[in-house]
Chain A
Amino acid sequence: MDISYILFIPLIPLAVFLLLGIGYQKIQPSVSGYIGVAGMATSAALSYYAAYQYFFASGKVDGVYQTFVEKTVWMNFTDTLHIDMGILVDPISIMMLVVVTTISLMVHIYSRGYMDGDKGYTKFFAFLSLFSFSMLGLVLATNLFQIYIFWELVGVSSYLLIGYYYTKTSAVAAAKKAFIVTRFADFGFLIGILIVGYYAGTFDFETLNAVNAEGEGLLLNWASTSFMGLSVITWGLILIFMGGAGKSAMFPLHIWLPDAMEGPTPVSALIHAATMVVAGVYLVARLFPMYYFVEGGYALNIVAYVGGFSSLFAAVIALTQTDIKRVLAFSTMSQIGYMMLALGVSSYKGHEGVGYMASMFHLFTHAMFKALLFLGAGSVIHAVHSNYLKDMGGLRKYMPITNITFLIAALAIAGVPPFAGFWSKDEILVAAFEKNQLLYFVVLFVAGLTAFYMFRLYFGIFWGKDTKYHHPPHESPMSMAFPLLFLALMSMVAGFIPFSKFVTADKVGFEAHLNLPLAAVAVGTGLTGIIIAWIFYKKENDLAEKFANAFGMFYKWTYHKFYFDEIYMFVTKKIIFNLVSAPIAKFDKKYVDGTMEGIGNKTVIISEKIKGLQSGRLQDYAMFFVSGVVVVALVFIYLWT
């Protein structure tokens, strides 16, 4: 299958970025909006065509989906150490292309309405295109270094977009926090890459993931050194997961995600719901054979538990937040925990790889409905000019389209059939139930919590108390409403895609069946959550407050996100800054700077002395001249041999 046209999918946003970035003074805002949307639409069309070609036309050989790679050596250091650049086409990368381009296109269209009138309109579209380019490049990466390069690019784009309102100090601080936390995680990532590359002898994904014919183990032989009881490759994989955990806001590197809501809402929809935060999941999925086969899946187990704990942690915190975007942020963290958990409990072959399939399926559906939730929240914030639940209520009368689409998305995330979330969550439950009962109960409990806080949000915004508004909120313009409608449609139908036929761990499709008992239990839990939220929040009452007071101290802890921000602040300020950075800074100032300045000062002193030679007196010059001639004559006639 000829895959060279896929190269244009990331390059078109790059071209748009360069065009808008270089010409941003001269291009009219409305024109730049059209350019951005047009570029993204082209990329989306190309990725749909690629998906059609791959999944339906020529991707399969003998029932196994083939991996197509086109790459070239970019930097050559030694025979084993070289960085390639290229594109790798396999089921998950095609799926991610579709997801990223679709959501990015919706966000582009939405931003034309949302950011209208903003001073930096062209800049915003340039950054959006830069982000799209980085994410698409990440998805198509062929080796660990390439994915790392695009990983960092994604981080930079995220920093630029979060700090878009650069005059607000909180936005700047949030951008810095996001960048620094993910950078810290990437430090682990880089070390992991180097370890894996050194001991396995290659960085290439195809070679690393190559499985032997029976599907029983990896083909690659690496030096079986071990360190502290675990194989070094396991350590490498754990460190790589650390990088993934940072980008995907897993515990304990989650602190940047709530603060990143300072960015404009389309940014939150694109980056912190659907694309960038799933990069960690994608990374683990990309290296899944290694994670599964190395040392009996030790690293994979860690992935599962981290994912499970993060989803529980985030769901509990989301129960009490009052800023609607923060609720959605913690919800994202919780759902990504689901995806990591699903990957963690997956096996490799055939039907046992249902966890992998479920994780990718949930990634797909979650992108749709979470982006819809964020865009809907954006509409609400645009209309009400406030982020907080206390300023909202009864909006169903004023914003019908937003009301319906938000409800559809909330039903999807709560796992109510026949919406998309039900199908993907069901597969996750099946995978967890078969492998690890504890994690199964965690998934179930979190599903209930998810339904509850989601409908708390829904009822709080659109029902609840009848707030009097200064000026009545109006429905969003068509440019903002169209993406909502499209994503709502996707949230309804995406569940019916037979995902297990297309995306699986061993690239052979299988038939997935609906497990009725588990599904019934899950739906029951979800409906319970919805009903409790209905009782608490649909009409204005103080049941919720009494309940919260009953919990007392625990409520306070949850509201403050378990004080993790304060802990991290304490550690960095008191310990790292004072004990590590300050002495080093002093040394640098006194000795290093001192030496350099000393050299400069000495040079000045010497040159002041030499300056005296230029006395302006003819006779002094004559003296030097004569002496010089005598010396030269002496040296060259008599003393030089």
Chain B
Amino acid sequence: MIAGISIYEIFTLTSILFFIGIYGFITRKNLISILISLELILNASAINFVVINKYLYPDVLQGVFFSIFIIAVAAAETALAVAIIINLYRQISSVEVKDTEIMKY
């Protein structure tokens, strides 16, 4: 519980972060930049879990645990994504999104 800050303001913050992440995901042309935007999205959701836990249900700890899991999963996913990007770079020597359009009509 932060003194003086209502839950609404924190939610506003996380929503803005979330949508900035989405904007970046859809707009960026580099695969690694897309990965970075994905991190923003995940972090925004983690903050949401924690805040709801602290403000609305202070007796239990589920929100914290879930955020820990989110962080763990995000780490695993980033590692794998980087491995795939490296492998892809070896095949096509590029990390641009426009070079990965093979699966189209």
Contacts and interface: CB of A to CB of B under 8 A. Distances in A.
Direct touching of A and B (C-beta under 8 Å): yes
Contacts of A615: 101, 104-105
Interface in B65-98: 97-98
Interface residues of A, number: 11
A520 interface: no
A616 B104 contact: yes
A616 B100 CA distance: 8
Contacts of A618: 34, 97, 100
Interface string B3-34: 00000000000000000001001111000001
Contact of A614 (B28, B97, B98, B104): B104
Interface of A: 611-612, 614-619, 622-623, 626
A482 B7 CA distance: 114
A611 B25 contact: no
B26 A619 contact: yes
15 contacts: A612-B105, A615-B105, A616-B104, A617-B97, A617-B98, A617-B104, A618-B34, A618-B100, A619-B25, A619-B26, A619-B27, A619-B34, A622-B22, A626-B22, A626-B26
A622 B105 contact: no
Interface in B27-63: 27-28, 34
Interface of B: 22, 25-28, 34, 97-98, 100-105
Contacts of A617: 97-98, 101, 104
A612 B101 CA distance: 12
Given A618-B100, A622-B22, 9 more contacts: A614-B105, A615-B105, A616-B101, A616-B102, A616-B105, A617-B101, A617-B104, A619-B27, A622-B26
Secondary structure at chain B's binding surface: helix, strand, loop or mixed? helix
A622 B104 CA distance: 15
Contacts of B27: 619
Contacts of A611: 105
A439 to B, nearest CB: 82
Contacts of B101: 615-617
Contacts of A626: 22, 26
B103 A616 contact: yes
B36 to A, nearest CB: 14
Nearest to A610: B105
Binding site of A, secondary structure by majority: helix, strand, loop or mixed? helix
Contacts of A619: 25-28, 34, 97
Centre residue among B26, B28, B98, B103 by max chain A CB count within 10 A: B26
Nearest to A626: B22
Contacts of A616: 100-105
Nearest to A624: B26
Contacts of B105: 611-612, 614-616
B41 to A, nearest CB: 11
B26 A623 contact: yes
Contacts of B97: 617-619
B49 to A, nearest CB: 19
Nearest to B19: A626
A478 B102 CA distance: 80
Contacts of A614: 104-105
B27 to A, nearest CB: 8
Nearest to A619: B26
A622 B97 CA distance: 13
Contacts of A622: 22, 25-26
A637 to B, nearest CB: 16
A531 to B, nearest CB: 93
Contacts of B100: 616, 618
Contacts of A612: 105
Nearest to B28: A619
A614 B100 CA distance: 13
Contacts of B26: 619, 622-623, 626
B18 to A, nearest CB: 11
A623 B34 CA distance: 13
A623 B103 CA distance: 17
A623 B27 CA distance: 9
Contacts of B22: 622, 626
A589 to B, nearest CB: 34
A615 B97 CA distance: 12
B81 to A, nearest CB: 12
Nearest to A615: B104
A617 B97 CA distance: 7
Nearest to A616: B104
A619 B27 CA distance: 7
A618 B25 CA distance: 10
Contacts of B98: 617
A428 to B, nearest CB: 82
9 A-B pairs with the lowest CB-CB distances in the bound complex, closest first: A616-B104, A616-B101, A614-B105, A611-B105, A616-B103, A619-B26, A623-B26, A622-B26, A615-B104
Nearest to B22: A626
B30 to A, nearest CB: 11
A607 to B, nearest CB: 10
Contacts of A623: 26
A611 B104 CA distance: 9
A347 B65 CA distance: 110
B28 to A, nearest CB: 8
A619 B23 CA distance: 10
Highest count of chain B CB atoms <10 Å: which of A611, A616, A626:
A616
A164 B70 CA distance: 83
